[in-house]
């Protein structure tokens, strides 16, 4: 493997790790917000926090699935894993 492909490979791995890290933080933040929404007395604030927390959880899970699928494709030796 030449140095250019190796650099692209390391950049792709770094990108996947960054996306996974941010997604994990977003998932934890969304879960914390959802649990905190149930302590709110005002129903309008509850609805606002409930749906925003649900959206954060959805984005966090989607952000964790993307790197998992890409890593699975690389480990399966799929030659089309990083073609753009």
Domain assignment present for residue 9? The answer is no
Domain assignment present for residue 41? The answer is yes
Domain assignment present for residue 12? The answer is no
* Closest to 33 (Cα-Cα) out of 54, 11, 5, 61: 54
Q: How far out from the chain centre does Cα 58 lie?
A: 9
Note the pLDDT of residue 6: 52
The answer to whether the pTM exceeds 0.85 is: no
Domain assignment present for residue 32? The answer is yes
Domain tally for the chain? 1
Note the pLDDT of residue 5: 55
Q: Which residues of 30-63 are buried (b: 16+ CB within 10 A; e: fewer)?
A: beebbeebeeeeeeeeeeebeeebeebbeebeeb
Residue 41 φ/ψ, nearest 5 degrees? -85, -30
53-82 pLDDT tens trace:
999 999 999 999 999 998 888 777 655 555
Domain that holds residue 70: 19-84
Domain assignment present for residue 3? The answer is no
Element (H or E) spanning 6, and its range?
helix 3-37
């Amino acid at each position: 493997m030449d140095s250019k492909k190796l650099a692209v490979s390391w950049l792709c791995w770094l990108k996947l790790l960054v996306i996974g890290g941010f997604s994990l933080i977003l998932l934890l933040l969304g879960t914390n917000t959802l649990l905190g929404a149930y302590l709110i007395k005002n129903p309008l604030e509850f609805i606002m926090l409930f749906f925003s927390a649900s959206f954060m959880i959805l984005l966090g899970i989607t952000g964790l699935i993307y790197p998992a699928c890409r890593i699975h494709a690389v480990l399966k030796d799929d030659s089309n894993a990083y073609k753009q």
